[in-house]
Amino acid sequence: MSEAAVADADTIMQACLNLKDPKSFFLYAGAGSGKTHSLVEAIRELKNRERERLTFEGRRIAVITYTNAACDEILRRLEFDPLVEVSTIHAFAWRLIQGFDNEIREWLRIKLAQDIVKIEGELARSKGDNKTSRGNKRKLQRKTRRLVALDDITKFIYSPTGDNRERQALNHDEVIKITAAFASERPLLDVIVDRYPVVLIDESQDTHAPVMEAFLRVQQLAQTRFCLGLLGDTMQQIYGHGVTRLDKAIPGDWLKPEKVVNRRCPRRVVELINVIRSSADDHQQDPKPDAIEGVVRMFCIGQSQEQAPNIEDDIAQTMASITHDGSWATGPEGRKTLILEHKMAGRRMGFEKLFAPLYAVEHLQTGLLDGTLPALRVFSEGVLPILAAKDDHFLLLEAVRSRSPLLSKEAMQSTGDQLAHMQRVQDATHTLLSLFESNDPTLSNVAALLLQTQLLEVPESLVGAMVLEAPSEAPDPEDTNALTSYAYQLFLQRPFSELAAFASYANGLSPYGTHQGVKGLEFPRVMVVINDEEAGGFLFSYDKLLGVKEPTKTDRDNEREGKDNALARTRRLLYVTCSRAEKSLAIVVYTPQPALAKQNVIAAGWLKENEIEIL
């Protein structure tokens, strides 16, 4: 494809961002095609052209993206221009509905009443007293109490990164559903269009379906004064909450520019991902003109997962020899290892027992994975930087000064003897450091010391868990509060070293990453580890994709009806992971039938026989 055609996608997108004659669009941008660059350049051109008008009218350009890290990157590239509001979908949704307290209360009143009727029906059909019926009774009590208390709440609150356990707090799911219900109705419809004449949604294929469908309705109702720009790639849909086949939901009169040059991957990787993709849709990519050839290898293993780290190290040595790239042989840090489940990383890095209890509680998962959970932050953003600065007096002083409530302006002003107060801070700091001198304290030990000295603020969720007596067995899964406290109790029993390992992983600094966590990122050397048995999930199945295991009737029915299914999800994950590689790619397959996996991969045209090795 010519450079003119490639540039045309950017030209079309910029032409759509016209306040006098807005045109909505879907930018199809495959892996490594420079989507973020196009997004930033289009916004930069729009705000330079329309700054005066937007400022005078008090309007903003809205950008919704998937993670806080992506928000930070776009804001940085746009030099933190206040004319552009960049946020995650949860933060943006809350900004839209915040203050509509009466409307929120009435929505909740109807929803809670519907939930209560449904639970009462389930209880009426239940046979005797069992775990399910007891859980339903507790759920019924909670919802009834909340319904009764609605009129006492004058102001609803919400945190996109918090627990949201207060009586007046909305949860993440409610914020999404309320926004979806209100967005295409007046007055919120007019608020959106008047405040944000342009809304750009990055990773639109993974944006929560109810909100995405609501924005599509807003666009249809306000076409002449509102531009909705969607950027993404349906082959890179990772999460189940997005619109299935979003491209089919796009109105026919929208413009659909496409970026087809992969500027990241070597030629051999582009060939591979094109073949993987070909059974899903017709979109294909071209390598950039000066792309290197690159190397792809697959290693099929019929052994158990206990030996996985050793086997993967041996494979890395082999890759170093094949590619003449010595960095493959420098240990896990010399490559990026992409795995299917967080617990697989936990097993390899030693934080599985810390991670598992918190991940089992649904409302903690988002904050856990993006590192914003308060119970994590007191250690990862409080204790860890203090420990890292222990050998440098000035760095240590700054680490404590910027984090400790004891050194806040209010605390310093309210103390009678500042010298004695500073001595207290110094003693507390050295007591904390001494805790780590000869052992690996538990998180409970560290939290207790912080509570005693008040050096750092310990979140209420941990304080509550510390004073409770640990139950002998896990509480009922339906009892959210008991389950949350139990998870924190198990979390506090873990050694601090596990927290440090998880913090490194959550910040993307470890040599391991999950398939879900690396979208948009790139690495010179990539090892994709495929192991259905170790992952233990049911949403994905590489054995089915590789033809080692037969798809179920449900899989075949869903595929025939155009619904999402295990085969399609797994194919997308393989596309996303393989397309991270800038130089070379090793695919490591643990499977009960390695010879059959090799045979099927060759038959499908993914790899050549000399590119696959059975170990």
pLDDT 10s digits, 309-351: 788 889 999 999 999 999 999 988 899 888 766 767 777 778 8
Handedness of CA 105, 111, 114, 115 (dihedral sign): negative
* AA identity, residue 439: N
Residue 302 backbone dihedrals phi, psi, to 5 degrees: -105, 20
Question: Would you state the pLDDT for residue 306?
Answer: 62
Residue 526, strand partner residues: 336, 585
How is domain 3-97+177-259 classified at the architecture level of CATH? 3-Layer(aba) Sandwich (3.40)
- What DSSP string describes 143-174? HHHHHHHGGG-SS-B--TTS---STTBPPHHH
| Three-state helix/strand/coil letters over 440-480 | CCEHHHHHHHHHHHCCCCCCHHHHHHHHCCCCCCCCCCCCH
Contact 305, 531 (CB under 8 A): yes
311 closest CA partner among 325, 300, 297:
300
pTM listed for this prediction:
0.75
Rounded Cα distance between 284 and 262, Å, is: 10
Contact 255, 221 (CB under 8 A): no
Rounded mean pLDDT, 356-362: 81
- State the pLDDT confidence band at 149, using cuts at 50, 70 and 90: confident
The H or E element that residue 434 is part of is helix 418-435
Rounded Cα distance between 192 and 404, Å, is: 40
- State the pLDDT confidence band at 1, using cuts at 50, 70 and 90: very low
Q: 């470890």: which residue's tokens?
A: 510
Q: What is the DSSP letter of 612?
A: E
Q: With a cut of 90, say whether residue 200 has pLDDT above it.
A: yes
The tens digit of pLDDT for each residue in 430-459 reads 998 898 988 899 999 999 999 889 888 888
* AA identity, residue 420: A
Two tokens, residue 502 = 């998880």
Q: With a cut of 90, say whether residue 605 has pLDDT above it.
A: yes
Rounded mean pLDDT, 143-164: 83
Rounded Cα distance between 587 and 9, Å, is: 33
Rounded Cα distance between 450 and 405, Å, is: 11
Question: Would you state the pLDDT for residue 542?
Answer: 73
Strand order in the sheet with 25-29: 84-88, 61-65, 198-201, 227-232, 25-29, 258-259
Handedness of CA 185, 186, 191, 194 (dihedral sign): positive
Average pLDDT over the chain reads 85
Rounded Cα distance between 293 and 585, Å, is: 12
Question: Would you state the pLDDT for residue 2?
Answer: 41
Rounded Cα distance between 179 and 94, Å, is: 8
Q: What is the DSSP letter of 551?
A: P
Residue 73 backbone dihedrals phi, psi, to 5 degrees: -65, -45
Rounded Cα distance between 535 and 514, Å, is: 11
Rounded Cα distance between 145 and 164, Å, is: 17
- State the pLDDT confidence band at 6, using cuts at 50, 70 and 90: very low
Rounded mean pLDDT, 254-272: 94
Topology agreement, domain 3-97+177-259 and domain 267-340+515-614: yes
Give percent above pLDDT 70 in the chain. Answer: 90
- CA neighbours closer than 13 Å in the CB half-sphere of residue 599: 6
Residue with the bigger pLDDT between 368 and 329: it is: 329
End-to-end Cα separation, the chain, in angstroms = 40
Is CATH 3.40.1350 what the domain over 267-340+515-614 is classified as, yes or no?
no
Give percent above pLDDT 90 in the chain. Answer: 34
Contact 516, 239 (CB under 8 A): yes
Question: Would you state the pLDDT for residue 567?
Answer: 83
Residue 566 backbone dihedrals phi, psi, to 5 degrees: -60, -40
Two tokens, residue 303 = 């052994």
Question: Would you state the pLDDT for residue 322?
Answer: 95
Residue 97 CB contacts under 8 Å (≥ 6 apart), including other chains: 103, 104, 175, 178, 179, 182, 188
CA-derived radius of gyration, the chain:
26
| Three-state helix/strand/coil letters over 365-388 | HHHHHCCCCHHHHHHHHHHHHHHH
The tens digit of pLDDT for each residue in 533-580 reads 765 555 677 778 887 788 777 777 777 777 777 788 888 888 988 999
Question: Would you state the pLDDT for residue 599?
Answer: 92
Residue with the bigger pLDDT between 28 and 482: it is: 28
The tens digit of pLDDT for each residue in 468-518 reads 666 666 766 666 777 888 888 989 989 999 998 888 777 665 555 655 555
* AA identity, residue 85: E
For 9, 13, 40, 248, 355, the CA distances from 26, given in Å and listed in that order, are: 10, 9, 16, 11, 37
Indicate the domain borders of the chain.
3-97+177-259, 101-155, 267-340+515-614, 352-506
Two tokens, residue 583 = 């130089």
Residue 589, strand partner residues: 300, 530
